[in-house]
Structures are given as C-alpha cells and as structure tokens.
Amino acid sequence: MDKLKIGTCWLDGCSGCHMSLLDMDEGIVAVLRKADIVFGPLVDAQEWPEGVDVAVIEGAVSSQDDLKLAEAARARSKVVVALGDCAVTGNVPSMRNGIPVRTLLRRVYIEGATERPGSEPPAVPTDGVPALLKHAEPLHSAIKVDVHVPGCPPRPNAILFVLSELLEGRTPDLGSKMRFG
Amino acid sequence: MKIQDFAAFSAAREAGLAKLLPGRPRISVGMGTCGSGNGAEAVYHAFRSEIDARGMAVDLVPVGCFGFCAEEPLVNVWVPGHPLLMLHRVQPKHVDGILNGLGHATLPPAEIVLCKIEEWDHLTGRVKYGTGYPEVPTWNEIPFFNGQVKIVLRNCGLINPDDIEEYIAIGGYQALYKVLIDQNPAGVIEQIKAAKLRGRGGAGYLTGNKWEFLQKAAGTEKYLVCNADEGDPGAYMNRNEIESDPHSLLEGMLIAGFVTGAPKGIIYVRAEYPLAVLRLERAIEQARAYGVLGDNVLGRGFSFDIETVEGAGAFVCGEETALIASLESQSGRPRSRPPFPAQKGLYGKPTNINNVETWYNIAPIVSKGPAWFTETGSTKSAGTKVFSLVGKVHSTGLVEMPLGTPLSKFIYDIGEGGTNGRDIKAVQTGGPSGGCIPAEMFDTPVDYETLAQLGSIMGSGGMVVMDEDNCMVDVARYFIEFTRSESCGKCVPCRVGLDKALKMLNGFTLGTATHEDIGALDELCRMVRDTSLCGLGQSAPNPVLTSLRHFRHEFEDHIVAQRCRAGVCEELALSPCENSCPLHMNIPRFLQLYKEDRVEDAFLSVILDNPLPASTGRVCQHPCDNRCRRAALDEPVNTRDVHRRIADEVLLSSAFEPMVRRVLAQRLEPTGREVAIVGAGPTGLTCAYYLALLGHSVTVYDPRPAAGGMLRYALPEYRLPKAVLDKEVELIERLGVKFQFNVKVGQDLALNDVAHQFDAVFLAIGTWKEAWVYLPGTELTGVIPALPFLEAVSRGEDVPIGRNVVVIGGGNAAIDSARTARRLGANVTVVYRRERKDMPAIPEEIEAAEHEGASVVYLAAPHRIVGDKDGQVRALEAVRTKPGEFDASGRRTPVATDEVIRIECDSVILAVGEKVDPDFCNASGLKVKETGTLEVDRYSLETSRDRFYAGGDLITGASNVSNAMGIGKKAARNIDKRLMGQERFASLIPDFAYDMVPPETQSELARHVPGEMPAAQRVQSYAEVSLGLTAVAAREETARCLRCDIRSVER
Amino acid sequence: MTEKVKVRIDGEVIAATAGQTILEVARANGKYIPALCYMEGLSAVGACRLCMVQVAGVARLLPACTTPVQEGLAIDTTSSQLQSYRKIALELLLAERNHVCAVCVSSGHCELQTLAQEHGVTYVRYPYNYPRLTVDTTHPRYVLDHNRCILCSRCVRTCAEIEGAHVWDMAGRGIDTRLVSELKRPWGEATSCTSCGKCVQACPTGAMAEKGWAVEEMTKQRTVVSRLTSMREGQ
C-alpha cells in the first residue's frame, strides 16, 4: 500500500504547535510508518504539493501570504486539520484585531523605533514582507476546516490521536478531550 | 364644572351635542400627527383666517384622524341638515371654494370629495348628520373603508379630542356611569370574559382573566397600567387612537379601576409621541375638572386617578416586566416570570397591564354587552383589530377589521393591491418581530392562532406589504438590525445571537455567505427564539425563520447565483437595469459608449452581452424599463431602442464585416470539446454563440429549415423583419457553429447517439405544442391554433382564413395572430376572459392591435363554437364574466355570469398558451415535472442525466425571448465550467475604457420613442411597424441615463 | 412553605420542597444542569440561558434557575436539542469578546472554558466580534478585564445583595452592554467599594482577578458567597 501524505504549515503562530507535534516521542515513528511528511517547515518543498491526504495547519490567517498558503493547502489536500488555538480561534495573533492595521504598524515601526544618529528615518517595511489582513482570523474563516484541535499548544498525545485516526481513515472524535488555552 | 349627578351629566351631554351639531356649519380638520405631517396645520390656519376675515358663522375644530393616511389631509364639512362630507387631499387653495359653497350646500370640486356620512354609530350613541348629496358615495362604499368595522376607532376623526363635552355627547362615560350605579364589579368582569376580549398588545391573553387576577389579589395597593409604548416601525395605531380619542382610554381604565379595586392607573407612553402626550394630559386635566377622574368620580364615591409617564423609547419597554422596571426608574430590562405582574408587579404590588387598544374596547362591551361583541370576529378571537397597512400597497392607513378576516381582503380590497400595479410578494405582520407571509398564503385568516402557525404574530397590528422590489433577505436583515439594536443585553441568545444573526445576514446580502450558512442561521435563530428571556428575543428571529421557510430560494440566489432579484443588495448588481435584464447586459456601458460616439465599441459591448441585439431590441419585454431609476424623475431610459439602433447601425451596414472580425478576435483558443444543442431558437442560439466564443465546437440541431425558432416562425415580420435575424444568425455561424436543420432529435436522431458523440448536450426545444382547451366545437373547420397559423404566414404559405376572425386568448401569440389576421384582410375580435390590465401581452402591442382595427372583448369566457351543418365555424358564444376573488397571482378570478354573447365569425384562432411537446420529454428518459416541463437544477441547469443540460421554455414553460436567452447564456457558462473545470466567462469581455463620471447636468429631454408607420398603411403590408430611433434621438436618449453603475467618484 | 412535592428529573423521581427552583432541586440531588449566571446564595436572573430545560407538557423551554417546581413536573435536562442550544450559547459567549485562554490568568479555572470543553466546543462557528475593550487596573488590589466579561451579573448581585455596596451595574444595551462601577467611575475611584473582593471570587471567568497572578494562576473561592448566605440564614 502506498504511503499517505501529510503536509504541515505554520501561519501566524509561535511554532509551539509544531514543537508539540515533534514532541510525540516514539509516536512519530508510528505516524511515519504510515505516512510521509511532504511539506512543512522541515521539508524542502517550496510549493504545497498536489494529492496531500492530511494538511496540518498551525497559526491564524493574518497576512496575504497566510491566506494564499491556506487556500493552496485546502485545494490540494483531502483533510485539513486546524492545529492549536491560533488556527482554531485566532488566539494571541487576533489580539491586534481591535486596532486598525495602519495604526498598529505605525505604533510598531515608527513610534516604537529608536532613532540612531545618521540612520534612515523609521518607516513601515513593505519589501519582502506580506501585507497584513484587516484581522488575524481563525483558519475556518478562510477555508473549510475538517478537524479542529484546540489547545495552546495541543498536547502531543492529542495530536498523535488525531493523526492516527485520520491515517486509519476515521474522523477523530475529540469530544470533550480538548480545551482552549 | 364637576359632574356630581345625572342632571349635570345630561347638561354636559347637551353642551357637547350643540358643538357636534351646531346650528351653523362645522368644519373639522384631521390634525393627528399624520394629518399635520401632510399639511393639515396650514389648511386649518387658512380656514381660521378666512372665516375670521369674512366674519362667517362657521365652527372650526381640530379632530383626530379617520384613518385614510394616503389621502391626508382630511377635512369634514357639515352643513345643518346635510350629511357630513369628508374631503381628502385638501390644500389651503381649496379653502375659499369650500367656504363659498357652505351657504347653499354646494359640493366642493369633485377631486377633493371623498365620501359622506349620513349617520354615524359611535356604539355608545348615534349621531344623525342629515341626508343628501346623492352623487357622493357613502363612506363605506369607498374600497378602503368597505368592510371595516369601527369599534376601537369609533370616535376617531369625528370628535374634537380636546373637548370632553363632545365625548360625553356621543355617549362617552355612560358606560362608566352605569358601572358605578350598578355596583357589580364581578358582573363587569363576567361581561369582559364573556366577550372573549383578548389583549391587543400581541400576546392575546384574555383580558377578563387578567382583571380577575388583579381583583382577587390581596391588598388595596395595586396598579393598572396602559402600555402605550408603541415602538414598532410601521405601526402607529395607538398613537392615532390617543391623539384622536383620549377619553375612551381613560374611561376603559376607570371602569377597570372600579371593578379591580385598583386606585391608580398609569399610562406609559412614548416620549416620541408629543401630540399624544399633550392630548392625553389635556384629557386627564379635563376629566378631573369635570369630576369623572379623581376623588368621588361622578358623585358615586369612587376614587381613581391616572398619570402619564413618558418612556424614553426603548423598544423592549413594551415588554411588561421591562416596562415595570422603567416605571420604577430602573433601566428597562425584563426579568424572568414567574412571578407574574399580577402577583408581583410595579413596586412589588399586583399590577395589570393592558395595551392601548384593549382599553378602547371596554366601554362598548359594557354598553352593548358581550353578545354584541362576539358577533364580530372569529370564534376564538372576538371583535376587531386595528392594523396599520403600510408599505408597497396602493392605499395605506389604519384599518379596523374583524379578527379572522383573510389577508387578501386587507391587501387587495382595502389596500387595492400593489403600487403602480406591481406584484405583491409578501406581507409582514406584527412589526419587526413578526413573520413574512407569502402571497400564496393570503387566504390566511388574520387571528392569533393562524398567524402563529405560519411563524408570524399578530403583534400590535403592523402590516407591511412587500412587492417584487423588496428583497426578502434584506428585509430579514433590516428587522434583525432593528431588534439587535433594541436588545436590552441581559440574556445571551438575544444579546449575542441577534448580533451574530445580523453578521450572517450581512454575508448573504454581500453574497459572501456559503450554503452551510443557511442551515447555521436557521439553527441559531431557532436557538434565539427558544431560549431568550423575553418576548423581544423570542420573537425577533421570526422574520428570518419565516423568510427561510417561505423564501429560501432568495437566500440561495444570493449565494449560489450571486443575484438579488429585487436589486436591493447593491453588492450583487451593477445597476437596477442590469439586474433586471435576463441577459444581464451591461446597459450603462453600451449607453455610455454610444454617447461617446464609439459605435463599434458599443456594438461589441452589446453583442458580447446579447447575441441577438437587433431582435431583442424589437421584441424584448424590456423589464429594464420597470427598474430604471430615471422613472422617478420622468420616464425610464429607452435602452431597448438604443441597443436596437446600435445593432442596426452595424448589422445592416458595411461595418458588419470588420465587426465580425472583431468578435472573432474575442474567441478563446479551441478546446477540442464538442457540444450538441437541440433547438435553434433564441435559447439554443445564445448557448451556441457563447460556447463557440469559449472555444468549443458546437453543433445545433433543429427540425425546421432555418434558425431562429419562435423569432422566425411565430413573430410576425411586421414586428421582426427576418433580414435582421438573418444577420444575427450569420454572425453566430461565422463563429464556427454548425447547424443541422430538418433533423428532429428523438425521431431522426436518437438522443443516445447524440450523447455518445458529444461531451455535453443542451436541450432547448421550446414550447411548440398549442395548449388545447376543452371547448365544444373545436373540431369544426375554421378553428386554427395560433402557432401553426403564425408559422404558415411567416413561411409565406397561403393560409385560408375567413372574413370574420375571433381570437381567443390574451398573450402575445393572441395579439400577433390578431394583427396578422388584420393584414390578411379579416375583421378581428379578440376575446379575453379577464380585464385588460391582466393581459399577459405587451401593452404597446395591444394598443397597436386596436389602432389597426382589431377589437378586444374583455371579461368574456368562450363557452362554445357554433358550426353549421357543413361543420364550418359560424359563431363564437362566450359567457360574460365579472372579476371575483383574488388568486395567488394577485389577479381576480373571472366568475361566469348568466349573460351570453354571440360573435358571428368564420374562423377562430385559439391562442390560449403553448406547452412542451410531451412526446419528446417522455421519450428522453429525463425527469419531467408535473407541469410537463423538464426538471433541472435551478442553478446548474443540469437534468437528471449526467452531462445533459436543458433550458428555455422547455424548463420554464412558455415565457419570452429574453428570459429564454438568459437561460441559454447561463447554460453556456455552466457547461463551460463543467468541461473546463474553471470559470472562464468573464475573460470574454475586453476592457472597454469609458467615462465613469455621472453627467454633471441632467438631460432635461423626455424619453425618445421611435416613430411608427400609420395604422392604415400598416395593415396593407408586413413592413416593420416601428421605425426605430434616429441616430440623433438615440444619442440624446443615452444622455438621459443617470449612471447607477457608478458607486463612488474620485475627485 | 414546607409543602413537599415530587418531581421527575431525567426519569428519576425526586422529592422537593415547593418554592424551590428546578435548578436548586437538581443540584441538591446531584443532577448537574450547567449555568453561568446562577450562583448559590444570589438571586437568580435567568440571563445565561444555559440551564434551559424541557418540561413535559410545556411547549417552550424553561430556565431551571427561575422556574419553581410543582407537583408532578417531568423535567428533561439533557435532550439533544438542549445540548445543541447550550453549545450555541457557549460559542456565542466565546465569540462576543476576546477570550484568549492562552494568556488568561483564569485559564484552567474558568467556568466558561470548562463548560465549552464539556460541551465539546472545539471551535466557534460564528464570526468573532473582536471588540476593542479596556482593562480597568485602577483598583489597588483587583483588576477588571472587559475582554473576558460575559455579563453574567454575578458580581453585581454579590456586591448589592451580599456586601450591600452596589458598586456594580450594567450600562448600555444589547451587544454594547458593559459592566460599570459607580456610574462609570473607574473601579479604583469608586468610593462605595469596600475592597472586600467577593465580586472577584464570584466571577466565573478571568474578567475579575486579583492583581499579581500570571497565566493560569488565578484560582477563585467560589463558595464564598454561598457560605456567607447560609451562615447569615443560620443566625
């Protein structure tokens, strides 16, 4: 039997959920026996590949790039898992949502900058950084999400449970096992 | 003067009568808020100064409103011995004439005379005004008043609300007097119970039972409260009742005070009703002065006082526990019941709260008895209810009808149907938290139980009528926006649930919602309804839930088709005209391009939106006219004739060849996909054209020898010259579309064979079967169905037709047949069973037929065709009909009378409608609907068989050219999307750079209408009747466009 | 007052005293009905609507916290409709304000968070509001974070009914309703506040907390109100 394909990515988040994913100890071996990780922070691929079985997405949708990546992952994956509170609720990244983006950037890059003599006057960077969206939103507000795994971060064994169920072709029933935070 | 005995009471009564029916003329001006808003103040002052200037012996008094808001200002004129004359739409300029006529009782100009009242039953007393004015209708002969039963509104608009003596004169305070003399509180409660009077605030609880609770409650500290916190948008019956007749309210409360033992009444009235507050306070003051309120009422040893409290306008304060909190100076938030106010109400004391209107029913019930009261209304809901009939209805105003009256009576009889003849879609009853009831259910009786079954409520009696210009999604959104902002914020479902429901509804109006959102919204609204703390939250979701129930397709249209049919949701439409066009032509664009003198660009814009622009420019039903916003200024822009002009300029000139190359240049790369289209009518041609543009290989099959379908074989040459159609078909052919004529699919070629050869099949065979009515005599020689008749004429065949022809029917085919028969030299009579306004044919066509000498007999239903012994038609016999009840389409059903008319003739053309060929449908193996049309998915147009699509009349039944073409266009889009896996339609339209600035000054010119050949000349030949717009006229016409497509202008 | 009645809760026959509410009877008999605005020892207001129950023969749902028991009531507290409505109510609360559990002092000890977990809320189906709300840090010992407030009014009632100070009230209406101290004066300047801190202990979420605690560190003594009430009644 062909191995299944897992893709993971990390939008606006702290990478803690990926740490938790790596923290599954020997569980990761069981997962890798059934599936290959074909996309993710530790994989070379630059584009989300076609034909992924399970997409595991951490982080809120906060910028144009986040949105594009999430949409690509959705279009090319069978099942999408929102991993962790940022992907599920918006969490910490969404705390900026009450502030208009322009005000936010000015506060951070201009009012917050320390001017040194002789340096360029502070400015909001535009090159090489993706434009921020109006709000940092949970993943399901941008794309259809099949499984939500709350937690900040979700416990490793919960992630293992979710992946094992999905790799067996079942829909994991998280019931009351998980809480926000 | 305190009334302390019967003599004093009688004296007050006599004094009042002398004011109502003085020995000189009396003029009363309706000066409720509604009248004043329409200029009644100015009319009143004009009367005042003119009467004073002339030193006339004329009484002038302000009165309240008689209820016909659409006709304000209302003025009553009474001359001793004559009926009370009610005038409407009175302006100060009429004052002179009215006063001049008083001396000899001559009537004012007819346009301001509404009706007369010879005698009025105030229920507590009668007033005889006099008789006369035979030419003036009695008040209840006016449609708006016909059927109204004025119990609550018995005094409104007839007596001076600021004068207690006038109230006493019409029998006011007699019921109170009687109750105080009888000294039988329990008996009064029994009366109210027996009358089955139910609370008019909306919940419909039995008033007698509530009074009994209060009467039995221990202690002497108890309260009566009148809930006059009327806050529903579109409802103003309570305001009018108080403004017009405040004493009836006081009397009702006084009676209740006596029988329940409550010493005090409080009227909680909105501060936004300043006139009502003022009149109420004056009435209270007068009542105290006359001894009917306060200590020792009417000398009977009973004491009761009333005060008013002004509410600050929170909608939720209409809820009784919130109202109590507000009276106690707390913030107006409801609390859980139990305990009920009857146990623990105001300041913790037993309290009874009734709506304004409930109180108005008390005195008549006490005077005339419960048996009289239950004669009116339905078994479970006795009496009447006042409704404010507003919205898209011809006659608006306050309507008092017996409970149980069907909605259709309100809307079509009292309200006289839609405004400007528009189709009414729904009515919302019960204010912002009521539900929307669709027109198909207008036979519903209006009572508490039936409305509840339909998911609506009686509420306080708001009745908002909506027509095809109202988007039900937007209506639901509007009402949720209202209730959300009026939520008190105490309980979670109402506070947060309504906020979320509004956000979700916004998603629908923007077209961003998903299909799952429909279910989620439904579930959320049920939760809010079932778990909210008070009536506000429990009923707030009604507009959404009923719209989802009765108008779910509108929600789906917004998200699946990204369309708002009513054209209300701006994000989903370019402009009202574009939205109404079945082909969704970018009308402002081609108008602007033509205005900029860019005829070729304008043509390209037109042809890419509509492959048959010259044909539709002649025969389209032009729905765009009905939506054009210019109509609000003068008349709609004549867009149809402009695109005809643009098309003719190119198609019929040397510009044609270069234009063909430009259109070909828009064609996408060949895809290698092959599509078969069955039927070369407008639907099939349109679909073929777009699929060819999209790069597919297209073959069209048709059983006839040339393309065009009904356009070629049913539309007479004088409406659509075939040379024009030929050019349009030529363009389609040169795009690469292959035609296989004289092939009948299903007969000459099996459907399965087609399926094997092609990647997709589109069926558009139209409706060529003449519907046959059962009519004795249809077998006679000389009876001809309309379509074969028109087809034979268009093919140039020799059609045997008699000298006298009768056409049966009222659609376009009937009128086309009549006009064609005229051209064949026959005398023509069209027989139609309904009224002219109900005719489905284009009004201009009917008019043209009449000009050409065809006569039309309306309200006549054919009943048999008479033949001679040779089996030849000799005459048609028809039964005269009269308009009956309204049907679901809002038209009156014709009802047969005894009168039979006979029209001598030798030919009868039957044009009673066309239908789909059932043989084709049955043989196709595809799912067929009961109506005989093919069943398809509303949005994708897919049939029950994979890769098989259908459109045009085949799925809608007989319709019209532009509707059919719109479906053909949609089919091409969907077939392409299916074949190519992506949406490519938008790439067909190049970037037309054109001015996106609205004209600085508006063109003053009137609508340009093309010239026509004189009627006498027309019947001599088949030459085209309409001469089209000239280039100058067309260019001027484009300047009349208001450019609704421009959203914002950057300056 | 001590009239005994029998009711049936989820099939089980239970003896109760007339005048008790359904919620009181249920809790006294180990039957769990979720609630956020209800607190033993305070008057019941029926605001959170989580305790809605189905009573046989009654068409509409009733709040257990304000509905008195009557002889023979048959009450269902767990139907699937009730469960689904409770889940919606919890999601609505989570979407109303900014409940960022990951950085909340009450995480792990929060009634809203716990109820959401118990009801299987793994995400919120409704769009978030993201209101911009303030944190009142003016009181020397306590902090009020409007981001976490669910407007249950437990603090309002604790202060008015138990402490007798009535510092707290609700201002505004609808979705803009806000908890205010002393006609919108900052908490630290509210002269009627006795700094007793019972409101903080009564608060079900992290909206009110003692100063000086980090994420997950704020635990509350929920029984402080009921203990005081029962001691006073005992006098």
pLDDT the model gives residue B323: 96
Higher pLDDT, A122 or B166: B166
Reference B351, options B370, B337, B364, B365; nearest CA is B337
Contact of B333 with chain C, judged by CB distance below 8 Å, is answered with: yes
Across the interface, whether the CB atoms of B533 and C47 are under 8 A apart is answered yes
Amino acid at C6: K
Contact of C49 with chain B, judged by CB distance below 8 Å, is answered with: yes
List the single residue in B with minimal CA-CA distance to C95. B496
Residue B885 has pLDDT above 90, yes or no: no
Contact of B499 with chain C, judged by CB distance below 8 Å, is answered with: yes
Considering chain A, what percentage of its residues have pLDDT values greater than 90?
Answer: 76
pLDDT digits (tens, 9 = 90+) for B732-786: 999 999 999 999 998 888 888 998 999 999 999 999 888 777 788 888 999 999 9
Residue B1049's pLDDT band, with cuts at 50, 70 and 90, is low
Contact of C124 with chain A, judged by CB distance below 8 Å, is answered with: yes
CB atoms within 10 A of CB B8: 16
Query: Which residue among B333, B500, B531 sits closest to C49, beta carbon to beta carbon?
Result: B531
pLDDT the model gives residue B1051: 46
Contact of C100 with chain A, judged by CB distance below 8 Å, is answered with: yes
How far is it, in rounded angstroms, from Cα A7 to Cα B453? 52
Across the interface, whether the CB atoms of C175 and B499 are under 8 A apart is answered yes
How far is it, in rounded angstroms, from Cα B73 to Cα B39? 7
Residues of B in contact with C60 (CB under 8 A): 530, 538
User: CATH number of the domain at B574-666+990-1051, please?
Assistant: 1.10.1060
Cis previous bond, B338, omega within 30: yes
Residue A63 has pLDDT above 90, yes or no: yes
Residues of A in contact with C129 (CB under 8 A): none
Residue A151's pLDDT band, with cuts at 50, 70 and 90, is very high
Residue B468's pLDDT band, with cuts at 50, 70 and 90, is confident
In CATH terms, the superfamily for domain B173-372 is NADH-ubiquinone oxidoreductase 51kDa subunit (3.40.50.11540)
Across the interface, whether the CB atoms of C132 and A98 are under 8 A apart is answered yes
Reference B359, options B201, B485, B186, B494; nearest CA is B201
Class of the CATH-defined domain B668-767+917-985: alpha beta
Distance from A77 to chain C by nearest Cα, in Å? 21
pLDDT the model gives residue B876: 94
Architecture of the domain whose range is B476-568: Up-down Bundle (1.20)
Residues of B in contact with C45 (CB under 8 A): 335-336, 490
| Average pLDDT over all residues of chain B | 93
Reference B487, options B543, B542, B535; nearest CA is B535
Class of the CATH-defined domain B6-164: alpha beta
Contact of C80 with chain B, judged by CB distance below 8 Å, is answered with: no
3-class state of residue A5 by DSSP: strand
Residues of B in contact with C175 (CB under 8 A): 484, 487, 489, 495-496, 499
Across the interface, whether the CB atoms of C113 and A181 are under 8 A apart is answered yes
Overall average pLDDT of the B571-586 stretch: 93
pLDDT the model gives residue B112: 95
pLDDT the model gives residue B800: 84
Overall average pLDDT of the C60-81 stretch: 95
How far is it, in rounded angstroms, from Cα B608 to Cα B686? 11
Neighbors of chain B by Cβ distance (3+ pairs < 8 Å): C
Residue B441's pLDDT band, with cuts at 50, 70 and 90, is very high
pLDDT the model gives residue C41: 93
Considering chain B, what percentage of its residues have pLDDT values greater than 90?
Answer: 82
Tokens standing for residue A52: 């992924």
Decide whether B668-767+917-985 matches B772-912 in CATH topology.
yes
Distance from A2 to chain C by nearest Cα, in Å? 32
Tokens standing for residue B184: 């039988």
How far is it, in rounded angstroms, from Cα B534 to Cα B337? 9
Contact of C129 with chain B, judged by CB distance below 8 Å, is answered with: yes
3-class state of residue B399 by DSSP: strand
Contact of C134 with chain A, judged by CB distance below 8 Å, is answered with: no
Residue C1's pLDDT band, with cuts at 50, 70 and 90, is low
Overall average pLDDT of the A76-88 stretch: 97
Distance from C131 to chain A by nearest Cα, in Å? 6
In CATH terms, the superfamily for domain B772-912 is FAD/NAD(P)-binding domain (3.50.50.60)
pLDDT digits (tens, 9 = 90+) for C166-177: 999 999 999 999
Reference B539, options B428, B454, B381, B430; nearest CA is B430
DSSP string for B639-689: HHHHHHHHHHHHHTSTTHHHHHHHHHHTPPPP---EEEEE--SHHHHHHHH
- Which residue ranges form the domains of chain C, and what is each CATH number? 4-78 (3.10.20.740), 100-234 (3.30.70.20)
- Which residue ranges form the domains of chain A, and what is each CATH number? 4-97+133-167 (3.40.50.700)
Lowest mean pLDDT among B728-737, B801-810, B885-894: B885-894
pLDDT the model gives residue A1: 58
Across the interface, whether the CB atoms of B485 and C48 are under 8 A apart is answered no
Across the interface, whether the CB atoms of C170 and B485 are under 8 A apart is answered no
B-C interface: how many C-beta pairs under 8 angstroms?
106
pLDDT digits (tens, 9 = 90+) for B697-716: 999 999 999 999 999 999 99
Q: In this structure, what DSSP letter does residue C70 have? A: -
Lowest mean pLDDT among A107-121, B692-706, B902-916: A107-121
Evaluate the CA torsion angle C223, C225, C226, C228 in order and state its sign: positive
List the single residue in C with minimal CA-CA distance to A90. C100
pLDDT the model gives residue B961: 93
Distance from B491 to chain C by nearest Cα, in Å? 4
Across the interface, whether the CB atoms of A178 and C123 are under 8 A apart is answered no
Q: Is the separation of the CB atoms in C16 and C5 below 8 Å?
A: yes
Query: Which residue among C102, C117, C131 sits closest to A92, beta carbon to beta carbon?
Result: C102
pLDDT digits (tens, 9 = 90+) for B923-974: 888 999 988 899 999 999 999 999 999 999 999 988 899 999 999 999 999 9
Residue B891's pLDDT band, with cuts at 50, 70 and 90, is confident
Residues of C in contact with A61 (CB under 8 A): none
Neighbors of chain A by Cβ distance (3+ pairs < 8 Å): C
pLDDT the model gives residue B689: 98
List the single residue in A with minimal CA-CA distance to C109. A181
Tokens standing for residue B790: 């028109």
Residue B504 has pLDDT above 80, yes or no: yes
Contact of B279 with chain C, judged by CB distance below 8 Å, is answered with: no
pLDDT digits (tens, 9 = 90+) for B606-656: 999 999 999 999 999 899 998 899 988 899 999 999 999 999 999 999 999
pLDDT the model gives residue C161: 96
Residue C96 has pLDDT above 70, yes or no: yes
pLDDT digits (tens, 9 = 90+) for B194-242: 999 999 987 789 999 999 999 999 888 999 999 999 988 888 999 999 9
Residues of A in contact with C119 (CB under 8 A): 176
Strand locations in B905-1040, DSSP E?
907-910, 914-915, 948-950
What is the value of pTM for the model shown? 0.89
Across the interface, whether the CB atoms of C52 and B504 are under 8 A apart is answered no
Reference B383, options B67, B179, B122, B152; nearest CA is B152
pLDDT the model gives residue B1050: 54
How far is it, in rounded angstroms, from Cα B260 to Cα B691? 80
Q: Is the separation of the CB atoms in C17 and C3 below 8 Å?
A: yes
Query: Which residue among A91, A150, A175 sits closest to C100, beta carbon to beta carbon?
Result: A91
In the block, residue with structure tokens 């003119």: B50
Domain ranges of chain B: 6-164, 173-372, 379-470, 476-568, 574-666+990-1051, 668-767+917-985, 772-912
Across the interface, whether the CB atoms of C116 and A89 are under 8 A apart is answered no
Residue A24 has pLDDT above 70, yes or no: yes
How far is it, in rounded angstroms, from Cα B401 to Cα B148? 5
How far is it, in rounded angstroms, from Cα B1035 to Cα B598? 11
Residue B946: partners with Cβ closer than 8 Å, 6 or more residues away: none
Across the interface, whether the CB atoms of C175 and B336 are under 8 A apart is answered no
Contact of B321 with chain C, judged by CB distance below 8 Å, is answered with: no
Residue C28 has pLDDT above 90, yes or no: yes
CB atoms within 10 A of CB B310: 16
Distance from C2 to chain B by nearest Cα, in Å? 19
User: CATH number of the domain at B379-470, please?
Assistant: 3.10.20.600
Across the interface, whether the CB atoms of A98 and C99 are under 8 A apart is answered no
Residue C195 has pLDDT above 90, yes or no: yes
ipTM above 0.85, yes or no: yes
